[in-house]
Amino acid sequence: LHSVNGALDVALKSSPQQVTIAGRDVRALSYNGGVPGPTLRVRAGDTLSVSLRNGLKDPSNLHVHGLHVSPENNSDNMFITVAAGDSFDYQYELPANHPPGVYWYHPHLHGFVADQVFGGLYGAIIVEDPEPIPADRERVLVISDITLDSAGNIPSATPMEKMSGREGELVLVNGQLTPGIATRPGERERWRIVNACVSRYLRLRLDGQKLTLLGVDSGRFESAREVNKVVLAPGNRADLLVTGSAGTSTLSALSYDRGSAGGMMMGGGSSRGADEIALATLTVAGEAVAPVAAIPNQPVPRDLRSATVTARRELVFAMGTGMGMGMGGGMMSPTINGRAFDASRIDTTVQFDSVEEWLLTNTSTLDHPVHLHVWPMQIIEQDGRPVDTMMWQDVVNVPARSSTRVRIAFDDFSGRTVYHCHILDHEDDGMMGIINAN
């Protein structure tokens, strides 16, 4: 769905829906009948209007992940509750300087997020480039995971799965199990990849093909770089160019060790132990195609390393030990600075139009992908080492027992929104805080 004359009006209806996955009838959740929901294509300066109708049996709402839009009123206001059967009209106004790239949407009602996303509620948002990047073809690849019982239902997550973050047994690309993709030698494809998994990290590889990364999240390298892998934490997106060489390649997710709650969890998730998972097959065959034009350089990203920092703060992500629950260890409750989410409390007050430096510290034995709404973060230092390239992301992974330093410019929009762990089970369990910029 493309915007026309600066506006895109869409109706999104969330509802339980029977879909076909891997040849099986599955009772999933869906926007407008499909998994994933429709791709929304807009441009900087556009107004995106979404009329959300909640056909679920539970309350829900809508979040436009990564978009730099107001956190208030009918915009990206995650404090809105849309009751079962109700509707709500959202209006998102993208500023004229909104960065192009890959974004996405999903429900964001605290306590329901992991179940609703795991059920199938997500879709891509593309903010088009002002100057198109030459490519023969463009594809949107929304990667998600799901678990199905023998009757095609999605079983509810166990307490253990919630503690470490659930990972589905099947990893899907656009709702399909290992779909085939065909292209011709020499063709340049642009792949817009979304990690819509609730907790699974994707360490992506596509053997035998040339991969050129334009950027991650709203961040764009000044000149695109050749890579052989792309790592996406839950919530991250990649904007990737694939130049076809004759042959068959497998897009696979390599194992990623994200640690485990308490350092002793067994079997909760597969990305930490399993071998490579095949996600899609790319067949490059036929007559070679003349190469398209070179990839133009991108505007030099803003650099906050030389900015005047007006405040520094530390956010500590921890898995505190809660009430005992057996299994030899007790359940851990995720917290930020020792506290679980409270919708009536403002945890962090920042001054509008200031630049802050945040030290994101993870004291636990598993990774936490830290996400801030509205204002992107520039990564300054990871694990004590300065980052030498400009990296702007809205989900920044903080590996187990380490710290990551970021800078944030709180400009353009004031108001109240949240930061949280994008392992959505952790977010639902309280690893979220409220920030107010004024």
Q: Rule CB under 6 A: which residues touch ligand C2O? A: 63, 65, 106, 108, 235, 371, 373, 420, 422
Asked if 370 contacts 360 with a C-beta cutoff of 8 angstroms, the reply is yes
Query: Taking the chain, what is the end-to-end CA distance rounded to the nearest angstrom?
Result: 35
How many residues bind Cu ion (CB under 5 A)? The answer is 6
200 is a contact residue toward Cu ion (CB under 5 A): no
Asked if 74 contacts 90 with a C-beta cutoff of 8 angstroms, the reply is yes
Q: Which does 407 bind (CB under 5 to 8 A by kind): ligand C2O, Cu ion, none?
A: none
Q: Which does 71 bind (CB under 5 to 8 A by kind): Cu ion, ligand C2O, none?
A: none
Q: Which does 108 bind (CB under 5 to 8 A by kind): ligand C2O, Cu ion, none?
A: ligand C2O
Nearest to ligand C2O of 110, 205 (CB atom) = 110
C-alpha–C-alpha distance, residues 406 and 393, integer Å: 10
Nearest to ligand C2O of 190, 420 (CB atom) = 420
Sites for Cu ion among residues 53-82 (CB under 5 A): 65
Nearest to ligand C2O of 78, 211 (CB atom) = 78
C-alpha–C-alpha distance, residues 213 and 222, integer Å: 11
Q: Which does 416 bind (CB under 5 to 8 A by kind): Cu ion, ligand C2O, none?
A: none
421 is a contact residue toward Cu ion (CB under 5 A): yes
Residue 372 Cβ, how far from ligand C2O at the closest point, in Å?
8
Asked if 3 contacts 46 with a C-beta cutoff of 8 angstroms, the reply is yes
| Contacts for 127 with CB less than 8 Å, ≥ 6 apart | 42, 43, 44, 67, 94, 98, 99, 100, 101, 103
Alpha carbon 104 to its chain centroid, in Å, reads 7
Residue 246 Cβ, how far from ligand C2O at the closest point, in Å?
38
Nearest to ligand C2O of 284, 424 (CB atom) = 424
Residue 385 Cβ, how far from ligand C2O at the closest point, in Å?
27
Q: Which does 423 bind (CB under 5 to 8 A by kind): ligand C2O, Cu ion, none?
A: Cu ion
166 is a contact residue toward Cu ion (CB under 5 A): no
Instruction: Give me the long-range contacts of 260-264 (CB less than 8 A, separation at least 24).
Output: 260/164, 260/365, 260/366, 261/163, 261/164, 261/319, 261/332, 261/364, 261/365, 261/366, 262/319, 262/329, 262/332, 262/365, 263/365, 264/328, 264/329
426 is a contact residue toward Cu ion (CB under 5 A): yes
